Amino acid sequence: MRLILDTFVPGDRAGFPSASDLGAPEYALDLASLNPRKAERRQLETVLRLWDSRGLGVALGGRPRKFSSLSQSEREQVLLGLAESRVGAKRALFGALKGVAGISYYVSSDADGRSAAWDEIGFPGPLGLRADAPAAPLSPTRVSADTELDCDVVVVGSGAGGGTAAGVLAAAGLDVVVLEAGEYHDDADFGGNEKVAFRDLYAPAPTVSTEGQIQLIAGSGLGGGTVVNYTTSFRTPDHVREEWASYGAEQFAGDEYDSALDAVIHRLGVNVDHDLAAPRDALLETGAKALGWSVAAMPRNVKGCDMGVECGRCGLGCRLGAKQSVAKTWLVDAAARGARLLVGTRAMKMLSENGRAAGVHAVSGEHTVTVRARAVVVAAGSIQTPALLKRSGLGNPNIGRYLRLHPVSVVWGRFDDRVEPWVGSMQSRYVDELRDLDGDGYGVLFETGPATPGLGSVFMPWRGAAAHRAAMAELGHLAPMAVLVRDKDSGEVKVDRSGEAVVHYKLSPHDTEHLMQGIEGAAKIWEAAGANRIATAQQTEVAYSPGRGTAADFASRARAAGAAPGTLALASLHIMGSARMGGTPEVSAVNPDGEAWDLPGLVVADASCFPTASGVNPMISIESIAYMNASRLAARLA
């Protein structure tokens, strides 16, 4: 790992640290060790064991030479040979290594908590822990022995879906137990430190689709993704609701779902009062207005947000407690009404009796946890929910299918003045001018997001160590525009022999074309905003300077470079639709109540339920579905 990472970031004799100098290889291996999928851990071990062999030298570079015997320049050529290979698996390997190198290096610091790489960027480093942070509002339990519990409803997962469902069910007077695989972190634990947050607050696996085309980013811990998300709080668009209703869950188009949306908006305190534009969002707004395109303030679930330095690190946890996550709202409501919250407890299989769901078998470290219940709510997220259903023997063929990911890439705009993209409101403006490209409600949404060095490196191509260092040094002058595709076509969640989730997803030609139209639109916005250089996140250099190129030519070259695995940095922060709701078992995994066709008493209440992609940041939609499904379940149990 040191050989590989030190090739990506070799450092220099003038004091600029190498990856090894900052302990990045150790951090990379630490993250890899958290992966619960043994097959992937073994695969990495095999690659690392063979990497410095003559045999792999032939496979990678065509010559029987050990990697360690090559010069820095020759090592770089080996890596670039992978990046430029016609073989998708080789490009995917390069993409994985590049991602590991960038994140591990740019989140790391020396013994004094500093990095010369940060200094070169002008990045001030982590904010640090607050000595005056208030006491945490929740007191979850970690089991210390084999445990058996009884309750009315056991809820698997504590994020947007599970947290909301727990609050609704407890408010109905039901005895609720919540099982969370992650840990509990609150204001006093958040220091704006990428290294800590990526390890503690994000799911360790799966982190990439099997094809290597798209990175998967999901929250982990009590409160799930609502603790680290960007506070973006869109209601489900009307045309999406109509589409969802057409699958047989007709309430999506009616008053019941209206009431659920209203209840969630109210509980989270969603508002547009915290709409001070971050520097990057001000540029987005300037460019959109110059084009005559629609741009609006972002509704956000915050109270007392600073909309500045603190807010820019909110994806690493909100130190101010301003973000109204479910760990500040619905879970607090649930705990106040007696709900029991268990952390570090992973659900492995559903229990059933007489053809109905009857509880959950889980593990916590070396201990077993058995929770017997009248009903089970599964809200483990759109990767782990279908995996749990499959491990439990449910046979509906739609379980795991119709996975939507809102594929996102970045178009960078470079500006003369410093932008400092890690500063300012997480997301305070959006542009939806191209939301409907074909007349069927499918298109792209433009947003910006904070780019700290580690996250920024994910979308920064690597074309050699010196070139990458120079590009990262410019980060303070760059504004990242996210091009978010409402994907019409889908992927699938499967499980391996051990029952662990495996994600299959290939961006379809239809959705790739929409992505390319979005890249062209983003270039137009940045050009209108005054950018002096505009570039994609593709491995092949695709860039232009306004006045010496056009957005149309830029888009043409982006299409030529493509979006195949390993050619373009793509990520998903919105994972949806793998156990969708519908009117019949032929088209859906769960019925209009969210109840599994195969197992009465088992209700799904998270983004898995989405019949199709939401087209907007999904938090409010997830919580509203959970509110509705949990309300229906409470009525049945009563």
Q: Which positions are catalytic?
A: 574
Whether the Cβ atoms of residue 206 and residue 34 lie closer than 8 Å to each other: no
- Residue 465, amino acid: A
Q: What is the CA radius of gyration of the chain?
A: 24
Question: Which of 489, 401, 469, 480 has its CA nearest to residue 447?
Answer: 480
- Give the integer Cα–Cα distance in Å for 376 and 602: 5
- Give the integer Cα–Cα distance in Å for 151 and 172: 14
- Give the integer Cα–Cα distance in Å for 194 and 299: 26
Whether the Cβ atoms of residue 333 and residue 167 lie closer than 8 Å to each other: yes
CB within 8 Å of 14: residues ≥ 6 apart: none
| Residue 549 structure tokens | 């190129």
Give the number of C-alpha atoms closer than 13 A to the C-alpha of residue 188, restricted to the C-beta side.
9
Sole residue written with tokens 């790489």: 117
| Residue 110 structure tokens | 């020396």
Q: Round to the nearest angstrom and report the end-to-end CA distance of the chain.
A: 57
- Give the integer Cα–Cα distance in Å for 411 and 537: 6
Sole residue written with tokens 């603190």: 310
Strands 533-535 and 543-544: antiparallel
Q: Cα separations (Å) of 535 from 412, 461, 503?
A: 5, 10, 29
Give the number of C-alpha atoms closer than 13 A to the C-alpha of residue 193, restricted to the C-beta side.
17
- Give the integer Cα–Cα distance in Å for 622 and 605: 8
Q: Cα separations (Å) of 54 from 46, 47, 608?
A: 15, 13, 46
- Give the integer Cα–Cα distance in Å for 600 and 350: 12
| Residue 150 structure tokens | 């009884």
Assess whether the previous peptide bond of 206 is cis (omega < 30° from 0): yes
Q: Which residues pair with 362 in a beta bridge?
A: 347, 369
Cα-based torsion angle of the residue sequence 358, 343, 365, 318 in order, rounded to the nearest 10 degrees: 140
DSSP-derived secondary structure for 516-555:
HHHHHHHHHHHHHHT-SEEE-SBSS--EE-TTSS-HHHHH
**Residue 348 CB burial class (10 angstroms; 0-12, 13-18, ≥19):** middle
- Residue 599, amino acid: L
CB within 8 Å of 292: residues ≥ 6 apart: none
- Give the integer Cα–Cα distance in Å for 429 and 287: 12
Tell me the three state secondary structure of residue 461: coil
Rounded to 5°, the CA angle 617-623-625 comes to: 105
Helices 38-51 and 24-33, axial angle in degrees (round to 10):
150
- Torsion sign, CA atoms 275, 279, 284, 285: positive
